[in-house]
Structure 1
């Protein structure tokens, strides 16, 4: 059995005559008949009832035709995938980011990308930066957006955006009366902190130490979004990425500038020794546009 025989069988079932099938396939009628005979010998059962110039599938032929249709549907899918690979290099992008960008930059960038490249499928995960790094380093994902504290070995790194931290506080909190919050203002207030390995937290602790104050840390979490949600529910105050906090503004959370300046730094990371495809570069361009850089 070969694909050409199966293709001829499918055409005969569709058109019910060898003459019409031959015309459709642009081959001779004797060639069609010969191929059908060879296919029947190969499968070991008759495929057609031959009556008055028509070919009607046997019960076995109908069952075989159903499987043939499944196979040709798979071939059509393969042709579509080949076209996407020809045009874009791949039919899918796998991207992951830190959770702080899961409700702002990433949706905007992905929406902009898909509007221009509707044939590309995207898999998106929101994870801790260390997990995103591992997904990209292992080659499982094509692109990652992470905080700068990751282990940079085994990935290609590009600077992304740097955002000045702001102090998040619940509505009605005493610190909302200040136009600018400084380290000394935090004494006596419950403080919500990022995980100890976070470089933004490490820079904040250096500032607190230099100012000679000790904040009252009541909660630690690796996610800026968690700090924002906890602040909005009145648990305390915390230094956050203002982009992540945007979702919580006017929903129980207030932001104030913090002095001295502390920055959240992020990176774009790519798998090593594998140049990014054109569509990955196109998604990176959309990320820059969504971030306003």
Structure 2
């Protein structure tokens, strides 16, 4: 079996007769018939039944045609990818990001990048940092933006940015009267906590322990956006990235500075042993600008 035989088979299936397939392929009808016969011999089953001089696809032929169509769709994608690579370098970017930056920094960076690179295809996913790390380490994604608690083996790591923690509370909460929140202000408060493995959560717990403060976790979540939504709904208070909280401020949520200073620290990660494309370098530049 060779690609030319498969192409001839596909033309017969899509055009209905060997004569029309021959016209499309600019070959003779006997040449088409011969290649179909050779393909059947190599496959070990009949692709067509010849009924009153007309070809009727067998059930096996129809099943084989489905697989052929999938293969040709793949070839079409390859041609498109090759054209994008020729014209724009690496013709697509695959980016994965922790949830906290997926609704603020990433959209701004993508908008700026796409203004000057409108033909570059973008794949974007918001995931937990550990999942982002796995996607990048396996080479499925070109860039990851993650929290600093990830396993750093198997990826190239670069410091990205840090964001000072703020305390989020529902509008009308008693703590809203304070200009700055200290650990002692949180004793006994209903608390929406980050996941146990989160570095910032562990640092906050150490601060609370030193201050002799006990908060009451009512919900745990790995997502800062979920904390903001829960706070805005009046469920409790939580430590958040102020950037993540932007859409919720004055919509059920109030922010106050927290002392002592805690930070969310983020990293950029890329697959190992892979030179960044021109497009990736430009996007990282836009990403840093969006901070």
Pick the TM interval, shorter chain. Answer: 0.7 to 0.9
Aligned to 2:271: 271
Q: C-alpha separation between the residues in 2 aligned to 1:110 and 1:192?
A: 31
Aligned to 2:197: 197
Aligned to 1:156: 156
Whether 2:187 is the aligned partner of 1:187: answer yes
Whether 2:165 is the aligned partner of 1:165: answer yes
> Is 2:188–2:214's contact at 8 Å kept on the other side of the alignment?
no
Q: What is the TM-score with the length of structure 2 in the denominator? A: 0.75
Q: C-alpha separation between the residues in 1 aligned to 2:219 and 2:72?
A: 58
Q: Secondary structure at the residue paired with 1:285?
A: helix
Q: C-alpha separation between the residues in 1 aligned to 2:73 and 2:133?
A: 37
Q: C-alpha separation between the residues in 2 aligned to 1:179 and 1:108?
A: 30
Q: C-alpha separation between the residues in 1 aligned to 2:279 and 2:84?
A: 10
Whether 2:31 is the aligned partner of 1:42: answer yes
Q: C-alpha separation between the residues in 1 aligned to 2:212 and 2:180?
A: 19
Aligned to 1:144: 144
Q: Secondary structure at the residue paired with 2:217?
A: strand
Q: CA deviation at 1:74?
A: 9.2
Aligned to 1:208: 208
Q: C-alpha separation between the residues in 2 aligned to 1:40 and 1:106?
A: 56
Structure 2 gap segments, 5+ residues each: 9-24, 35-53, 56-68
Aligned to 1:88: 88
Mapping of residues 1-293 of structure 1, within 5 Å: 36=26, 39-44=28-33, 80-291=80-291
Q: C-alpha separation between the residues in 2 aligned to 1:150 and 1:74?
A: 35
> Is 1:92–1:120's contact at 8 Å kept on the other side of the alignment?
yes
What is the Cα-based RMSD across aligned positions, in Å?
2.7
1:75 and 1:144, CA in 2 relative to 1: closer, same or farther beyond 3 A?
closer
Give a deviation string over 1:49-102, Cα, whole Å, max 9, x none: xxxxxxxxxx99xxxxxxxxx999998876553332124332211111001111
> Is 1:88–1:277's contact at 8 Å kept on the other side of the alignment?
no
Structure 1 gap segments, 5+ residues each: 7-34, 46-58, 61-69
Give a deviation string over 1:4-58, Cα, whole Å, max 9, x none: xx9xxxxxxxxxxxxxxxxxxxxxxxxxxxx956x4442149xxxxxxxxxxxxx
> Is 2:229–2:248's contact at 8 Å kept on the other side of the alignment?
yes
Question: Which of the pair has more CA radius of gyration?
Answer: 1
Q: C-alpha separation between the residues in 1 aligned to 2:173 and 2:99?
A: 26
